[in-house]
Amino acid sequence: MVSDLASFPRPVLLALAAAERLLTRRAGASVVLADPEDLGGSDRSVVARARVARNPFSLPRTLVVKHYLADPEPGMPDPFHHEVASCQLFTALPSEGRASPVLIAHDPAARLLVLEDLGRSSTLADALFGPDPAAAQRCLLGWARGLGRMQAATAGREHDFGALLRRLGERTSRDPVVDDARAALAGVAAMLTDELGVTVPAAAHREAQDTARLLSGTRYRAFSPSDTCPDNNLVTSRGVRFVDFEGGCFRDVALDAAYFRVPFPGCEASFALPPGMAATMLEAWHNEIAGVWPDLDDPERLEHRLLDAQLLWVWLCTWWLLPRIRGRDAPLGLDPTRTPRISTALAHYWREMAGAASAAGRHASAELGVAVADVLRDRHTDGPSTLPVYPAFRSVA
């Protein structure tokens, strides 16, 4: 490396050194990376951008390196394998159907990926927390279109994805939320009674359990990044690009489309959308997937599946979040300026679901949603009584 690296964290330097060795082996001549930029990563991985200072073959001018720091948990799917298989799947697609960075190289032994650099793009979160409501709306619609385009491009490719995973040593492909979702459908009724004193009617419990059909092999399946929170979506000149495929899987498309209506379930940046925005996003998404699943042009069929997904997410988020506020209410994420209170977010999820369920004639779920939202509001009076919209929309709310 040719730049002064003394100030960079050691994990970043180790990641770039491993990338140099990988690319040098591939090229048969020395590749040198310089001017690293730490892109954050997580407690599981390091992500850095670097300039290609010595380039014996046609590498791009800059690259992104992702280095997994820890071995996978025993008996659990390996997030490195899922990310590699996801990027391989998209790299093989035509550029217009590609929703992710191109995978340039990977090294299973070093648990390393070298990826296309999408540039210094802002994220969807940046727009939602920015000052421009028009820009935030454009980005939300671009995200909805990008989601639909990705689903349309990957419909029918689940066997290809499974084959890529098996080549990496994974025996099966599984949505990482399935086990928690099934646990939620079995356990949330008792949790609501024990934690909030709300009794769940048998009819409401049945309506929730009926949503489990979305967790199995429906005919509306496509690729999902699994985690499409606002900070995992880059806004580029070529449209929204999705990053972070550690939980990449195939699942029913309604489970991701329901993000418009919950919204962004369980994400740290889970604020409300302005009135009408969810419907506009849904239309943008539907325009992209209609050619693949024309029967979803039937408004009743589409609404039934979206409400199932919304209801499932509300029960799942309750399973995840309600135990965290047994003692006192707390922020959903680490940065209190960019995240709501848990009680406020949960109350919003339940109340929005209640409105949709009432309109669809699912009165047991609607009544339960109102009851849960009211108890959460009354019990945690130190927080906002309603979930605020994203900051970008507050000046026009």
Q: Taking the domains of the chain in order of start, what are their residue ranges?
A: 10-116, 122-393
Task: Please provide the size of the chain in residues.
Answer: 397
Distance of CA 288 to the CA centre of its chain: 19
Q: CA–CA separation, 31 vs 326, rounded Å?
A: 54
> Which is nearest to 69 in space by CA: 59, 61, 54, 79?
79
Distance of CA 152 to the CA centre of its chain: 17
Q: Kindly give, in sequence order, each residue whose CB lies less than 8 Å from that of residue 166, ignoring residues fewer than 6 positions away.
A: none
What's the confidence (pLDDT) of residue 396? 67
- CATH H-level superfamily of 122-393: Aminoglycoside phosphotransferase (APH), C-terminal lobe (3.90.1200.10)
Report CA-CA distances (Å) from 331 to 42, 205, 326: 19, 28, 13
Q: Kindly give, in sequence order, each residue whose CB lies less than 8 Å from that of residue 386, ignoring residues fewer than 6 positions away.
A: 272, 344, 348
Q: CA–CA separation, 373 vs 218, rounded Å?
A: 31
Q: Judging by DSSP bridges, how do beta strands 112-116 and 62-68 pair with one another?
A: antiparallel
Q: Judging by DSSP bridges, how do beta strands 32-38 and 45-54 pair with one another?
A: antiparallel
Return the H-helix or E-strand segment holding 234: strand 233-236
What's the confidence (pLDDT) of residue 223? 97
> Which is nearest to 323 in space by CA: 218, 214, 194?
194
- CATH class held by domain 10-116: alpha beta
Give per-10-residue mean pLDDT for the chain (397 aa).
58 91 89 89 85 81 93 87 96 86 95 93 94 96 96 96 94 88 98 98 98 93 93 87 93 96 94 97 97 96 97 98 92 91 97 98 98 95 86 83
Q: 80: which 2 tokens? A: 């490195």
* pTM of the model as a whole: 0.93
Q: For the sheet containing 233-236, what is the strand order?
A: 122-123, 233-236, 239-242
Do residues 352 and 262 make contact, with C-beta atoms less than 8 angstroms apart? yes
Residue 76, burial from CB neighbour count under 10 angstroms (0-12, 13-18, 19+): exposed
